[in-house]
Structures are given as C-alpha cells and as structure tokens.
Amino acid sequence: PFNGLDKDGVKEMREYLLSYKEQGKTILICSHSAEDISVLCDTVHEMDKGVISEITF
C-alpha cells in the first residue's frame, strides 16, 4: 500500500491503517514488504502457488 508514496505519504497511510486496526477492523494488505506487514498485521496469510497457509506473529 506504500508504493509510490513519499515519506509523508507513507507516514499518513500507516497512521490511517493503524487507526483501522485499533478499531478492531480487518484490513487486507497485499505486500512484499516484511516491514510493512510486521507493523500493521497481527495475522499473515501467505500464498504459495495458489495454496494459502497461515502464519501468526
């Protein structure tokens, strides 16, 4: 969700997504960035060759 954003845009988007998380809402994020995922997500579902497995932090 952060591709193409400048530093301020990344900060604003991260704060926006974290506010949803704090409200207990579910957020679906597709990302290759482990940093983004570790900050924003409690549960990660990984897809490999069309098969979904679950990894919980």
Look at residue 2 and tell me if it is in a domain.
no
Look at residue 20 and tell me if it is in a domain.
yes
Identify the three-state secondary structure at position 7.
helix
- The mean per-residue pLDDT over the stretch 33-37 comes to 82
Question: Considering its fold, how many domains does the chain have in total?
Answer: 1
| Residue 36, domain extent | 7-56
Q: What is the pLDDT of residue 57?
A: 63
Look at residue 47 and tell me if it is in a domain.
yes
Q: What is the pLDDT of residue 9?
A: 95
- The mean per-residue pLDDT over the stretch 42-46 comes to 84
DSSP 8-state symbol, 32: S
Q: What is the mean pLDDT of the chain?
A: 86
